[in-house]
Structure 1
Amino acid sequence: MLQTDAILPEIGFGAVCSGLDLTRPLSPAEVRQVTGAMDRFGVTMWRGTGMTDEDHLAFSRNFGYLERTPKREEGQRTRLPYRELFDASNLDLEGEITRDPAAIEYRKGDRLWHTDSAFLTRRTSYSILLAHQVPQHGGETWFADTRAAYDDLPAETKALLEGKVGINSLWWSRKLAGADISEEEIDSRFKAEHPLVHVHRGSGRKAIFIAAHTMDVKGMDKAQGRQLIADLIAHITQPQYTFSVDWSAGDMVIWDNLCTMHRGGEYDTAGEKRDMRRTTVREGTEPHTLDMGDDPYTALFAASPQSVDINRARDAGR
């Protein structure tokens, strides 16, 4: 039986959970316990899971189709054994700290407030991150509650946001993090559109859907739209809506991208290893769906700007 051991901030956003053996198949009732906790808290943390890569995938498939990393050429090596595992690490193919400039530049964007896969046409619901090796100092993950933040907006701001659509690009967030990418390059590549406010299906509450990937607001003057984006992110990430998770090897955290934002914490990326592996569940898909007949990441990364082209980097597969 799932147990809620601690609710993290006083507002009831985020919980430490236990009571389920995540290394074995879950019953339908146990899956409903997990989704119920996610609908309530937005983020759940599970300490010392003992999960392998295979356990990680099997558990994640309870919640829908798992996105896949770009296809590799025949015989090309990757660090992780399954395409459903996204490498959120600072490691190369040999498991050593990467020195590749493109990989280093690309990863800087993870430390901006964002939602996973907002730059794709079909959004991600759950992200499920498992720690294999963590740095001695730093490397925490921060989370923000976009439902409570929406609730607290002034009525006039809520009215302004009604019907507004954000334009999202993976490469915009990398530019914000310091990568040498021009706006002309970004504009020539794929962008996804999503409402800035939506009703979170699991709770029936409205939530803001915005992050570092959101570069413009459709139909708004560029400067005004970007100021609105910056103001919203600043509002959502105030202390009363945020908390951080400190990791130990074997810990797993699930977060719902449709009612949260997150960012990675700082650590010595050149001196300490951090091996984190993530599955991402596509919104609105059925449990245990193994193939959706598409592969958006392959096309997306095939058009990577040179400064963050991890497809061609020595430690490709990230």
Structure 2
Amino acid sequence: MPTNPTTLNGSFGTLIEDVRPADLRDAEFRAEALRLWRDHGGLLALRGAALAGLSPEDLLDWAGVFGAIEVRRAQARDHMMVAGLPVLRIGNTRDGAGRMIAQQSDVPALKSDADMRYDTETRRPVWHTDMGSAVPSIGSVMQCRVTPPTGGETLFADTRTAFAKLEPDVREKLMGLEAVCSQAHHDKKISLYTPGYPVLSPAERAANPPYRHPVVLTHPETGAPALYALNSSTAALVPKGAAVTQAQLDLWELEGVEDESVSFYRNLLPFVTGPDFTVKWQWQEGDIVTWDNRCTLHAATGFDSARHQREMWRVTLNAREGAAQAAA
């Protein structure tokens, strides 16, 4: 069993190298990986050449160490799933007929590490928390299957440490807010800069009503508060319990317009995504990275998609039955 894990940025993130498929089935290795994930801010990376041949079933089995596997999916993305399983392809790969079979968002490549920090004018990189429903995912497990020679890194930010470093009055204001989130808003917003990105039909919109999440979440297992509830589904920030109108929802969901209130959170991101709190993960084929949405943000970066292919397999994690999210 591999030993001597390496931390990635201070106490944030852990890397275990020389991992083999058999290690993923070892009870002792599983227990140690789960401990490292919890103790190091919800970011765990595994690396090993032999992992490149892992089957989707083996990836799902490994993902179950960290949470329950989410099986909910939109019909428009069925062809993007691996072998009909709850494993989503991310990237630019196509089938033999030339149809895109992976979910791709067109985002800029990094020119330097300085580009990792959020830019409030360009709103890039697209730092976010994966949510997607009223019962949000607790995290994701992603494996690299095909990677370009350059670019395509994934960025991670430690939102528990960043929150603790904010000024007390800012922390207090954030704790009084909740985010109004919507899958319809998310899909419409992404489609505005990624032509062809699927949007919800009227029936799907009705079946996926808006939901709310706290802007500050107390981790139910570690007890640490962290920034939360920011992604492309975040349409507005409101005081906890405040009402919104149907006209506001129609603007946010049908036009992809983000309410100005979200800028309060976005204006904090240059600090939150600074070098003290971030990790840049340069993928190698076979790498498996697990992150905890309850205490991290992440962002994709671009690559030369006209010349190279990229395919990632992603499994979404839900809380196990009986577990609960905790608002600060």
TM superposition shift of 1:62: 2.6
CA distance in 2, matches of 1:31, 1:161: 35
Matching residue of 1:298: none
The DSSP-based 3-state class of the residue aligned with 2:169 is: helix
CA distance in 2, matches of 1:78, 1:208: 30
Change (3 A) 1:25 1:239: closer
8 A contact 1:90–1:97 mirrored in 2: no
Change (3 A) 1:96 1:113: farther
Match status 1:131 vs 2:166: no
Of the three residues 48, 66, 82, the one matched with 2:69 is 66
CA distance in 1, matches of 2:277, 2:170: 18
Matching residue of 2:305: 269
The DSSP-based 3-state class of the residue aligned with 1:137 is: coil
Matching residue of 2:247: none
Could you tell me which amino acid in structure 1 is paired with residue 236 of structure 2?
Answer: D
Matching residue of 2:14: 15
Match status 1:151 vs 2:157: no
1:158-307 matched pairs, under 5 angstroms: 158-177=171-190, 179=192, 190-212=209-231, 213-219=233-239, 225-285=261-321
TM superposition shift of 1:285: 3.7
Could you tell me which amino acid in structure 2 is paired with residue 115 of structure 1?
Answer: T
CA distance in 2, matches of 1:284, 1:53: 21
TM superposition shift of 1:193: 0.8
What is the TM-score of this pair, normalised by structure 2? 0.73
CA distance in 1, matches of 2:97, 2:129: 27
CA distance in 2, matches of 1:112, 1:248: 22
TM superposition shift of 1:226: 1.8
Larger deviation, residues 154-163 vs 234-243: 234-243
CA distance in 1, matches of 2:97, 2:286: 18
The DSSP-based 3-state class of the residue aligned with 2:149 is: coil
TM superposition shift of 1:275: 1.0
Could you tell me which amino acid in structure 2 is paired with residue 92 of structure 1?
Answer: R
Matching residue of 1:80: 82
TM superposition shift of 1:205: 0.9
TM superposition shift of 1:174: 4.7
TM superposition shift of 1:111: 5.9
Change (3 A) 1:172 1:165: same
8 A contact 1:5–1:16 mirrored in 2: yes
CA distance in 1, matches of 2:235, 2:177: 13
8 A contact 2:155–2:300 mirrored in 1: yes
8 A contact 2:80–2:101 mirrored in 1: no
Change (3 A) 1:57 1:204: same
Change (3 A) 1:214 1:138: same
Larger deviation, residues 18-27 vs 130-139: 18-27
8 A contact 1:119–1:191 mirrored in 2: no
Matching residue of 2:154: 141
Change (3 A) 1:285 1:87: farther
The DSSP-based 3-state class of the residue aligned with 1:37 is: helix
Match status 1:55 vs 2:58: yes
What is the TM-score of this pair, normalised by structure 1? 0.75
Change (3 A) 1:25 1:149: closer
- CA offset digits 1:13-62 (Å, max 9, x no partner): 11111476444663554332122111112211111224221210111123
**In percent, how many aligned pairs have the same letter?**
22
Gapped regions of structure 1 (runs ≥ 5): 288-318
The DSSP-based 3-state class of the residue aligned with 2:268 is: helix
TM superposition shift of 1:201: 2.4
TM superposition shift of 1:70: 3.0
8 A contact 2:24–2:62 mirrored in 1: yes
8 A contact 1:69–1:86 mirrored in 2: no
8 A contact 2:89–2:101 mirrored in 1: no
The DSSP-based 3-state class of the residue aligned with 2:294 is: coil
Gapped regions of structure 2 (runs ≥ 5): 108-122, 245-257, 324-328
